[in-house]
Amino acid sequence: MKITINMSATLMERINTHHLAPGKRFESLSYVWARVVHSPTGSIRVVIPHNAPVLFFAPDCFISQSAGNVRLAPEVLNGMLVKFAASSFNCLVNVHDHWFDAHTRFSNADDRDDLEFDQYLRRSFEPMLVKHPHIGQARAIYNLSIVLAQKACDARLIDSRESSPFQPVNTINLIGGHFGHLNTSRKELQQMNKEMFNRQVDFIPADKQDLLTDINVALVGCGGLGSILAEDLGRAGFGEVDLFDDDKLELSNLNRWQGGMPGDVGKFKADLLAERMRRMFPHMRVKAYARSIYAERIEQAIAFNDIIVAGLDNDEARFFLNRLSLQYSIPYFDSGVAITGCVDTTDFRSRYFAVLPGVTACTECTGFKLYDKEQVRDASADEATARSRRAAGYVMDQPQVTSPSVYFVNQRASSLLVQELLNYVCGWRATATTILESWRNGVFQRADRDNFPETPDPECPVCSYYAGAADVEPLPRPRPFLKQVPINLFSKPHTQEVHHG
């Protein structure tokens, strides 16, 4: 069972400041409320967004607090648990520190304390919720423990009902201006990989190259742009890619679909791309999902990746991925192209944007207009609402037209994105949030965290209400895929989709 925590770097910094302040000579305890989701394969992801509730306690909340021990007063602990019960969170994260250590592991005393608290949760607290639902909805509660030291931390899930009650956390992704990644089980790069990447070692140092092999990328869209993005990711050294696309290759795609051959026409793009990727990069873990991204299981499959990369043809999917990015705290990188004008006015334009949950504005609250918001909202509104909105003039019907598309412009868009993605991981310079390139006008406009330090709008519902909601809130699916059912917190399916592909 793989356990990953997606945690806001800003929140981690606040917690570190509280626990590891210079000159502090006593242990502290704090709590964070989070959400846990399960993958169909049994992996667990803990989502801790920038606005997750954090409880720091005043000194009089403890019945004892010394250099190596801390204990909350029972009435404070119970007060906190009652508030937690009334919330929609399902994971209690207790954080304590070994302020005296640079690197640390859980001690025997930690084992005893964690088990004691977990037994209380299982034997008293969870049954109490079943018996008194007015206090809070009965649900499975996850008990996570983090111990901080000056230069590292350790984390584990606890379940005292299991024969092995401690399940170590494999990875902590820190979602900040750059990508932070703490891995307790990282393996050394294999010899073949070392040689393969020796021409990039000057700017991707060995530890970052190792890190790339640990990162799982969800590549959404395996069309003209996606086919180039996939190869770019493989050649950069990313270790795992999940490919999502329910389209089949057509003859008219062959002017731009990297590696496409006439004999491939009629096959699913995701499957074809996966096959090629496995041949090119035998060390890479590649999975193909030739189904709509709006299918519920596909949502989970995307949500269990560390980074989302998209090369899409429609804005409804961008609207969907923006929400998915915020709800599961996953950085989202997107690129697109447009060919405008004709013959002597032709322009080749490429665009890139990134959403770093809790750090940057999302596609809904940024100062850049990345898509027509009325159009995408209309696409996911129910039939009656959509009719009313059209009648009121909010949305205009737009004819479906075949857009010009060509290989070399897709290459530029892919290059923009992968260069910035590597920058996000390696930290060469401030991460770009938006880039525009226009060939005709000789324009290259790069907005990054230095020249445009835009933060989430506090009134943006996606960056506030939906942040960290994981699967508690349904994602905005286009009308043909959406049949709303009553929302039931803590149970998985809120939507039923019509699948195709």
Partner 1 sequence: MAKPKPIMIDGEYREVSPNAKIIDIVPKDVNSITSYDGTLIPKADFARVDVPHGFETNLSAINKGG
Q: Which residues bind partner 1 (CB under 8 A)?
A: 221, 223-226, 247, 253, 310-315, 318, 335-338, 340, 349-351, 353, 367-372, 403, 405, 410, 413, 434, 436, 443, 445, 447, 451-455, 457-459
- Report the candidate in 98, 77, 51, 20 with the shortest Cα–Cα distance to residue 461: 51
For residues 329 and 443, is the Cβ–Cβ distance under 8 A?
no
At 200, list the tokens: 């990039």
Which CB atom, from 28 or from 360, has the smaller least distance to partner 1? 360
Task: Write down the least CB distance from residue 369 to partner 1, Å.
Answer: 5
Q: What does the DSSP 8-state code read for residue 125?
A: I
Residues 6+ away with beta carbon under 8 Å from 398: 375
Using the Cα atoms of residue 126, residue 131, residue 134 and residue 135 in order, give the sign of their dihedral: negative
Rounded to whole angstroms, the Cα distance separating 461 from 54 reads 20
At residue 386, what are phi and psi to the nearest 5 degrees? -60, -40
| Residue carrying structure tokens 């010009």 | 404
The CB-of-280 to partner 1 minimum distance in angstroms stands at 21
Beta carbons of 366 and 374 less than 8 angstroms apart: no
Which positions ≥6 away from 167 have C-beta within 8 Å? 1, 3, 156, 157, 158, 159
Using the minimum distance from each CB to partner 1, give the nearer residue, 385 or 451. Answer: 451
Q: What is the distance between the alpha carbons of residues 252 and 159, in angstroms, rounded to a whole number? A: 55
> Which C-beta is closer to partner 1: that of 171 or that of 325?
325
Q: Which residue, 163 or 398, has its beta carbon nearer to partner 1? A: 398
Tell the smallest beta-carbon distance from residue 225 to partner 1 (Å).
4
- The distance of closest approach from Cβ of residue 268 to partner 1 in the complex, given in angstroms and rounded to an integer, is 14
* Residue 258 to residue 261: CA distance in whole angstroms: 9
**What is the token pair recorded at 362?**
């999302």
Residue 416 C-beta: closest distance to partner 1, Å: 11
Closer CB to partner 1, 169 or 317, in the complex: 317
Would you give the end-to-end CA distance of the chain in angstroms? 30
Cβ nearer to partner 1, comparing 72 with 317: 317
Q: What is the DSSP string of 381-441?
A: S-HHHHHHHHHTTS-------PPP--HHHHHHHHHHHHHHHHHHHH-SSPPEEEEEEETTT
Query: Closer to partner 1 at the Cβ: 84 or 294?
Result: 294
Closest approach, Cβ 374 to partner 1, in A, equals 11
* CB closer to partner 1 out of 118 and 231: 231
The minimum distance between CB 467 and partner 1, in angstroms, equals 16
Minimum CB distance to partner 1 smaller for 403 or for 488: 403
Using the minimum distance from each CB to partner 1, give the nearer residue, 98 or 349: 349
> Is-contact 32 468, C-beta < 8 A?
no
Which segments of 139-250 are extended strands (E)? 142-148, 153-158, 166-168, 171-175, 179-183, 216-220, 240-244
Q: Shortest distance, CB of residue 223 to partner 1, whole angstroms? A: 4
Minimal distance, residue 377 CB to partner 1, in Å: 14
To the nearest whole angstrom, how small is the minimum distance from the Cβ of residue 429 to partner 1?
15
